[in-house]
């Protein structure tokens, strides 16, 4: 959430470099953007509400500053206008910030009593004024930052410039990601790797309370407990191409098309077709009799898929909870409970807090994460990475599928442990895994989705129905549609609609049914018919012929472990085509941002 980029060096123009970095991070927030740079020995601040393109219009790229910090914002405190845009300035300090300062009202009151006035509604301006206030007594920037760490409650990644040291960028973090990189004596800070990939794939990941000091000839790291120390350099293993559109109209479409490969890569990283590989590459699961899965949004939906698969195949009770609830509710752990947290970004605040809650109670934790070295990956007892690469579209597709693929392997391993899978079934599963990418390719490259989208894209409400595993899949279908098309789409367990919500069904209301579970098919068909009797327009996604519907999308029959991977494809593509027909900003839906680092 919010993107930060900073640059210091003689090889490039700071304005170009920061803007291109911010553009690579725009998926983290796009309410406003701003930049501060040193020109003619003074800090200049330029900012604009709206997209980075608005900011570009007011920049003079013929100025060639060598140092600057920039920001693209997802508003938390204060509306997304120019005044609230970052950078913020107070006295000698100018900062960009990602995170939330929770005690900013107390700090603001304290500073106002000292005569400080504020122009924005942001917590960031308060943090900036705090630095300036401390500096008046400390008269040393590093000491000021260390002292500020004691006073600031909440989360922050800061890029900092100070009038008294115009040749240096300071950066520090707590609970919000920040990286530092260097290449040919150029120095960079960024809130995420894509911002620096055009220059280098080597970086340093700041830990909580680390302070980075970037100067022309030196890069140093300081921590209040360790003082100056050496940091380990990390290598980004993905490719730069993953942050380019590669000829696709949208990142979302590109990422949908990447799913066959991403699923294959994720599965093959842990499974080579033998049971031995599952036992060698996935954590020991023998002792767990009870599993809690905790996540947010689409990651929560993958948890629901996993719950259904694990309970059906391995006979183990699974609780799946939304992290923002789980972190505050009374939770019942047993001595052999395993808590699995799922997060693409590895930085989602509520998921991280839920992980910490389980750890405080000494419960074993396992994280399923995409971003290497992210907070959740580092704090969990064990981590399994999905192999999705950089996901840029705000609405997740390939990370969702990679999570489902990996969770299916966990379900398979648990089913083997609990002796619920015969040799024949295992052999069939191993064979089907090899066939999956081709089946997915074929399903992705169908024209049907656009035709269906054309019939329903003007509607205000769309319902998604399914039972059990199909209900879990339908939840993700409904979320995909609502977040990118702004159509009010909701999913219901198919049998539940008649207990109230069916009153919303009227002539031509689209109802999308998911029917991949043979044991539930007839029941769901009956529920679809109930809506058809009230005029609904029925689209069915099924692995068997169904006559009684307006549109049928036939998907191949595979083992239940992999059925969700196939069923989600039409749902993603129908949502995509509808959003496109409605002229929506598909990769950057309104009000959203990727990586939700605030609660
Ligand atoms: C929806 C979407 C979100 C995320 C959620 C959790 O398309 O992307 O619902 O799934 O914000 O994010 P992560 O997986 O980063 O924890």
Measured from the CB, is residue 348 less than 6 Å from ligand 1?
yes
Angle between helices 141-151 and 123-138 (to 10 degrees): 130
Is 71 a residue whose pLDDT tops 70?
Answer: yes
State residue 594's pLDDT score.
83
**Phi/psi at 229 (5° precision):** -150, 165
* Spatial separation of the C-alpha atoms in residues 540 and 353, rounded to whole Å: 39
Cβ of 396 less than 6 Å from ligand 1: yes
pTM, 2 dp: 0.91
Report the pLDDT value the prediction gives residue 25, as an integer from 0 to 100: 87
* Cα(100) to centroid(ligand 1), Å: 19
Does the beta carbon of 4 sit less than 6 angstroms from any atom of ligand 1? no
Q: Tell the residue nearest (CA) to atom 3 of ligand 1.
A: 297
pLDDT at site 242: 67
* 127-132, long-range: CB < 8 A, 24+ apart: 127/88, 127/95, 127/97, 127/101, 127/152, 127/156, 127/158, 128/88, 128/89, 128/90, 128/93, 128/94, 128/95, 129/90, 129/91, 131/90, 131/93, 131/95, 131/160, 132/90, 132/91, 132/92, 132/93
- By alpha-carbon position, which residue is closest to atom 9 of ligand 1? 297
Find the Cα–Cα–Cα–Cα dihedral 10, 11, 15, 16, rounded to 10°.
180
**Residue keyed to tokens 């599993």:** 291
Ligand 1 lined by 242 (C-beta under 6 Å): no
Q: Which atom of ligand 1 is nearest to the CA of 371?
A: 15
pLDDT of residue 295: 98
> Of all protein residues, whose CA lies closest to atom 5 belonging to ligand 1?
297
> How far away, in angstroms, is 224 Cα from ligand 1 center?
34
The average pLDDT across 228-235 equals 95
| More confident call, 457 vs 194 | 457
Q: Is 196 in the pocket of ligand 1 (CB under 6 A)?
A: no
Residue 16 has pLDDT above 90, yes or no: yes
| Residue 338 · residue 355 · CB < 8 Å | no
| Closest ligand 1 atom number to CA of residue 295 | 16
Give the confidence band of 240 by pLDDT, cuts at 50, 70, 90.
low
Percent of the chain with pLDDT over 70: 99
Confidence at residue 548, expressed as pLDDT on a 0 to 100 scale: 85
Average pLDDT, stretch 3-28?
A: 93
User: Comparing 244 with 262, which gets the higher pLDDT?
Assistant: 262
Ligand 1 pocket, mutate which of 298, 400, 576 (most atoms under 8 A from CB) = 298
Lowest mean pLDDT among 30-34, 73-77, 373-377, 444-448: 73-77
540-599 pLDDT tens trace: 999 999 998 999 999 999 999 999 999 999 999 999 999 999 999 999 999 888 888 888
SS3 341: strand
Q: Using the predicted structure, report yes or no on whether residue 51 has a pLDDT greater than 70.
A: yes
For 354-358, 426-430, 558-562, 592-596, which range has the lowest pLDDT when averaged over its residues?
592-596
Residue keyed to tokens 């509400």 = 49
Task: For ligand 1, say whether the CB of 395 is within 6 Å of any of its atoms.
Answer: yes
Mutate to test the pocket of ligand 1, among 250, 295, 297, 370 (most ligand atoms within 8 A of CB): 297
Q: What angle do the packed helices 423-444 and 563-581 form, to 10 degrees? A: 20
Pocket test residue of 1, 596, 597, 599 for ligand 1, highest count of atoms within 8 A of CB: 596
Structure tokens at 455: 């019939």
The answer to whether residues 151 and 132 touch, using CB atoms and an 8 Å cutoff, is no
Per-residue pLDDT tens for 83-136? 999 999 999 999 999 999 999 999 999 999 999 999 999 999 999 999 999 999
3-state secondary structure of 165: coil
For the chain, state the CA radius of gyration: 25
Q: Is the peptide bond before 64 cis (omega within 30 degrees of 0)?
A: no
Check pocket membership of 477 for ligand 1, CB cut-off 6 A.
Answer: no
- The residue whose CA has the least distance to atom 16 of ligand 1 is 343
Best mutation site among 1, 28, 327, 344 for ligand 1 pocket (most ligand atoms within 8 Å of CB): 344
Smallest CA separation from ligand 1 atom 7, residue? 395
Location of structure tokens 């509520």: 350
Index of the ligand 1 atom closest to the CA of residue 301: 10
Distances (CA, A) of 325 to 174, 368, 482, 599: 23, 19, 22, 11
376 lines ligand 1 (CB under 6 A): no
Mean pLDDT of the chain: 95
375 CA from centroid of ligand 1 (Å): 15
Asked if 73 and 100 count as a contact pair (C-beta separation under 8 A), the reply is: no
pLDDT band at 219 (very low <50, low <70, confident <90, very high): very high
Give kind and range of the element (H or E) at residue 254: helix 251-257
Distance from the alpha carbon of residue 128 to the mean position of ligand 1, in angstroms: 30
Ligand 1 close to Cβ of residue 296 (< 6 A): yes
Q: How many angstroms does the Cα of residue 463 sit away from the middle of ligand 1?
A: 21
* Distance separating the N- and C-terminal Cα atoms of the chain: 11
pLDDT-derived band at 241 (thresholds 50, 70, 90) equals low
Q: How far is the CA of 241 from the centre of ligand 1 (A)?
A: 22
Active site amino acids: 2, 594
pLDDT number for residue 531: 96
> Please, where are the H alpha helices in 318-397?
323-326, 349-360, 375-379
3-state DSSP assignment of residue 393: coil
Q: What is the pLDDT of residues 23-35, one digit of tens each?
A: 988 888 888 999 9
pLDDT mean over 12-19: 95
The burial class, CB within 10 Å (0-12 / 13-18 / 19+), for 545 is: exposed
Say if ligand 1 is within 6 A of residue 299 CB. Answer: yes
pLDDT, tens digit (0-9, with 9 covering 90-100), for 182-207: 999 999 999 988 899 989 999 999 99
Residue ranges in 114-163 assigned as alpha helix (H)? 123-138, 141-151
Q: Is the CB of 374 under 6 A from ligand 1?
A: no
pLDDT digits (tens, 9 = 90+) for 510-528: 999 999 999 999 999 999 9
**Reported confidence tier of residue 357, pLDDT bands at 50, 70, 90:** very high
Query: In sequence order, what are the residues at sequence separation of 6 or more whose Cβ sits closer than 8 angstroms to the Cβ of residue 466?
Result: 472, 473, 474, 491, 493, 494, 513, 514, 515, 524
Closest ligand 1 atom number to CA of residue 400: 10
What is the mean pLDDT of the segment spanning 47-75? 93
Q: What is the pLDDT of residue 372?
A: 86
Quick one: tokens of 219? 């890069």
């Amino acid at each position: 959430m919010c993107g930060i980029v900073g640059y210091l060096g003689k090889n490039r123009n700071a304005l170009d470099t920061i803007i291109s970095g911010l553009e690579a991070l725009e998926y983290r927030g796009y309410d406003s953007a701003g930049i501060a740079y040193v020109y003619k020995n003074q800090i200049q601040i330029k900012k604009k509400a709206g997209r980075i393109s608005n900011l570009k219009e007011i920049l003079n790229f013929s100025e060639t500053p060598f140092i600057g910090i920039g920001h693209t914002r997802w508003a938390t405190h204060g509306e997304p206008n120019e005044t609230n845009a970052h950078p913020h300035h107070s006295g000698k300090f100018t900062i960009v910030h990602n995170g939330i300062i929770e005690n900013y009202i107390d700090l603001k009151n304290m500073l106002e009593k000292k005569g400080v006035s504020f122009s924005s509604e942001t917590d960031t301006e308060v943090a900036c004024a705090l630095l300036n206030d401390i500096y008046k007594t400390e008269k040393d920037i590093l000491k000021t930052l260390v002292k500020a760490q004691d006073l600031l409650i909440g989360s922050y990644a800061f890029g900092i410039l100070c009038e008294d040291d115009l040749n240096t960028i300071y950066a520090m973090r707590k609970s919000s990601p920040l990286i530092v990189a260097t290449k040919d004596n150029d120095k960079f800070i960024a809130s995420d790797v894509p911002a620096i990939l055009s220059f280098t794939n080597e970086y340093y990941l700041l830990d909580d309370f680390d302070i980075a000091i970037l100067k022309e000839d030196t890069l140093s790291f300081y921590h209040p407990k360790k003082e100056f120390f050496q940091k380990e350099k990390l290598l980004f293993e993905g490719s730069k191409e993953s942050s380019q559109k590669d000829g696709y109209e949208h990142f979302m479409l590109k990422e949908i098309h990447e799913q066959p490969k991403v699923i294959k890569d994720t599965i093959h990283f842990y499974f080579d077709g033998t049971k031995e590989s599952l036992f060698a590459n996935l954590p020991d699961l023998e002792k767990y009799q009870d599993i809690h899965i905790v996540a947010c949004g689409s990651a929560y939906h993958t948890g629901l898929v996993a719950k259904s698969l694990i309970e059906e195949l391995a006979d183990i009770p699974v609780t799946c909870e939304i992290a923002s609830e789980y972190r505050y509710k009374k939770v019942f752990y047993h001595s052999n409970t395993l808590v699995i947290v799922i997060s693409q970004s590895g930085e989602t605040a509520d998921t991280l807090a839920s992980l910490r809650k389980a750890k405080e109670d000494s419960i074993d934790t396992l994280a399923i994460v995409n971003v290497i070295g992210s907070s959740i990956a580092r704090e969990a007892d064990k981590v399994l990475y999905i192999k999705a690469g950089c996901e840029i579209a705000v609405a997740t597709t390939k990370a969702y599928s990679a999570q489902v693929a990996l969770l299916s392997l966990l379900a398979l391993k648990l089913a083997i442990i609990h002796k619920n899978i015969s040799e024949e079934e295992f052999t069939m599963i191993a064979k089907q895994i090899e066939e999956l990418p081709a089946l997915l390719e074929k399903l992705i490259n169908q024209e049907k989705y656009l035709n269906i989208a054309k019939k329903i894209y003007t509607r205000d409400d769309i319902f998604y129905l399914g039972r059990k595993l199909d209900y879990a899949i339908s939840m993700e279908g409904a979320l995909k549609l609502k977040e990118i098309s702004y159509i009010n789409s909701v999913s219901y367990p198919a049998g539940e609609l008649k207990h109230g919500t069916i009153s919303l069904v009227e002539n031509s209301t689209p109802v999308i049914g998911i029917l991949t579970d043979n044991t539930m098919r007839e029941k769901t068909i009956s529920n679809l018919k109930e809506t058809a009797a009230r005029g609904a327009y029925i689209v069915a996604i099924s692995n068997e012929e169904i006559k009684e519907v307006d549109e049928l999308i036939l998907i191949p029959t595979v083992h239940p472990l992999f059925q969700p991977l196939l069923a989600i494809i039409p749902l993603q593509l129908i949502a995509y085509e509808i959003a496109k027909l409605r002229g929506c900003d598909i990769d950057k839906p309104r009000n959203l941002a990727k990586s939700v680092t605030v609660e």
